[in-house]
Structure 1
């Protein structure tokens, strides 16, 4: 009896086996929800797996959002540019799997463990959350742990830079899209000075008033870094409110974020790591000039290309005048150069 069953089993195996030389089964593209824990907070994300041959391990990229309440898709309340979802789609077209997630204070994740004390949330907590996400991406059955990348937009680019020099295994590529490339408060001061100059151009302030406001902005930055009370008397109401928040509920985060000087972090990248750094000529939040020191630091770190790419007419959300709702062609070209194809 047993020999008869064995014969049947062998016969079935012969019948159902794939013909020699048959192409492997193609697995269609799919998104799936990924849930992981970081510092006691349940974090929710989306893993996009492009179409691939069954059993084939894919290159994969962690996609990190910018500052503020920016969720996994790159959206904020009342602003839905879908920046990160679109970037993930571009990478998927190059057969790169992606993981993007709702960071603290956004989407399904919310404040998590910081719900009852949001003032304790600092920038290193966001970096640890991103590191946990990288490890989740590394361990997915479809991804190649030796072909991982990290891509970040704005503040997320600074986080990507920090991860690039500290995670294991080290990523083969790091993409810094319109990155926060100088200290946070220096960037804020630069933005505020530009806004004040524009207000003078429009006749809202006199040049004399501009001088007073600019001096007050610089004094506020100095006070914040010295952990002294900020004087807001000479600041416009909106700017005064901003600095009041910086020394109030957001103080811990601002102080810890401002402590990071991105060019210094570049030295930890592995030589030869493929790095893309983009800056848009119409980006008022991160002007190209702010990326000069980081670009030089990356060169000294002996990383690979594509290097810095200036995006003509492109704004902070990766759009240009002809493409107000989707990444500009120059952005698509830069991403394709970074990701390549198999």
Structure 2
């Protein structure tokens, strides 16, 4: 999830989640600055299996797809749904989030390249696990960009951009902020974005924008602004699936088109009536969208999993 919408969401109450029907296996990855944690969703049938690394989006979104201000269980649902179809999934808490929180000492130390390096470490762990055959990647939202940054070195056998950006983050942020802020506040945010684009930190930001532009997160934003997802997508040689939702109010289908135009070998799919958190929401009004960000009982859009299963069944077949 991108930062802008996060600012307006109210924290929902936590709810009890039923025990998994499929085998969930906890996994640890030791790094030089702390341990990262994740969960395997493993098929019921005997392996070896193809495996998919599933990466969450921006902010404090954990391996289940939840954060302090959101509760969707969307990534947990994706993992279990793929496992039910014979595809193993590793869902991770990225550095600084969830169980991996202690692996990041200071927020100002993280860069997009930090997360990309962690992806490479997880890839090494998966490729050395004899239970798995070919390796795929799903990046949701900002996780798609992180995957594209890592892709050249990771050498994924297949990659999915799931509601991922196709334009530089600052372009998408400007769109979101222009829709959600009064004109005077938007002008201030635009000035800050211009400075960050130039690689210059801003000492002070309006209090109402502090969650987005606080000093400790500015180094990360500066690192993000250096990357153009479309240029990165052009370099992907593995099978590539680009999925967007027609009612996604955070990352539009225009972003998927940018990625597809950059990589004409990719398959581009727009799921009608799917929003950014992968749920069925037919309308783009904020009032219609917000309940899906705090109701984990809502199922995934029914057309999403068949698209993912069909893509990975073909692209990850064999050894």
TM-score range, shorter chain: 0.7 to 0.9
Instruction: Work out the CA distance in 1 between the residues paired with 2:95 and 2:27.
Output: 15
Alignment of 1:300-319 (within 5 A): 302-303=265-266, 307-319=267-279
Kindly provide the CA deviation profile for residues 189-224 of structure 1, in whole angstroms up to 9, marking residues without a partner as x.
Answer: 11011224xxxxxxxx6xxxx3x5544443322122
Instruction: Work out the CA distance in 2 between the residues paired with 1:244 and 1:65.
Output: 21
Instruction: Work out the CA distance in 2 between the residues paired with 1:228 and 1:87.
Output: 37
**SS in structure 2 at match of 1:151:** strand
1:48 pairs with one of 20, 41, 50: 41
Instruction: Work out the CA distance in 2 between the residues paired with 1:277 and 1:97.
Output: 20
Match in the other structure for 2:161: 176
Deviation at 1:281, TM superposition (A): 1.5
Match in the other structure for 2:30: 37
Deviation at 1:292, TM superposition (A): 2.4
Instruction: Work out the CA distance in 2 between the residues paired with 1:186 and 1:135.
Output: 33
Instruction: Work out the CA distance in 1 between the residues paired with 2:51 and 2:212.
Output: 39
**SS in structure 1 at match of 2:303:** helix
Instruction: Work out the CA distance in 2 between the residues paired with 1:283 and 1:158.
Output: 17
Between 315-324 and 326-335, the greater mean CA deviation after superposition: 315-324
Determine whether 1:269 maps to 2:212: no
TM-score, normalised with respect to structure 1 = 0.75
Alignment of 1:284-323 (within 5 A): 284-299=249-264, 302-303=265-266, 307-321=267-281
Match in the other structure for 2:146: 159
**SS in structure 1 at match of 2:27:** strand
Kindly provide the CA deviation profile for residues 83-140 of structure 1, in whole angstroms up to 9, marking residues without a partner as x.
Answer: 111111121122111111111121211132x32x331122211111111111111122
Deviation at 1:242, TM superposition (A): 4.4
Instruction: Work out the CA distance in 2 between the residues paired with 1:254 and 1:128.
Output: 17
1:256 pairs with one of 199, 223, 231: 223
**SS in structure 1 at match of 2:98:** coil
The ranges of structure 1 where at least 4 consecutive aligned residues each deviate by more than 6 angstroms after the TM superposition are none
1:79 pairs with one of 70, 76, 84: 70
8 A contact 1:178–1:286 mirrored in 2: yes
- CA distance 1:29–1:249, change in 2 (3 Å): closer
Question: Any stretches of 5+ residues in structure 2 without a counterpart?
Answer: 1-20, 283-290, 293-297
RMSD over aligned Cα atoms: 2.4
Match in the other structure for 2:208: 238
1:221 pairs with one of 183, 193, 215: 193
Kindly provide the CA deviation profile for residues 51-108 of structure 1, in whole angstroms up to 9, marking residues without a partner as x.
Answer: 233xx42111000011000111111024221111111112112211111111112121
**SS in structure 2 at match of 1:252:** helix
**SS in structure 2 at match of 1:182:** coil
Instruction: Work out the CA distance in 1 between the residues paired with 2:23 and 2:75.
Output: 17
**SS in structure 1 at match of 2:179:** helix
8 A contact 1:174–1:275 mirrored in 2: yes
Q: Which has the higher contact order (CA 8 A, sep 6+)?
A: 2
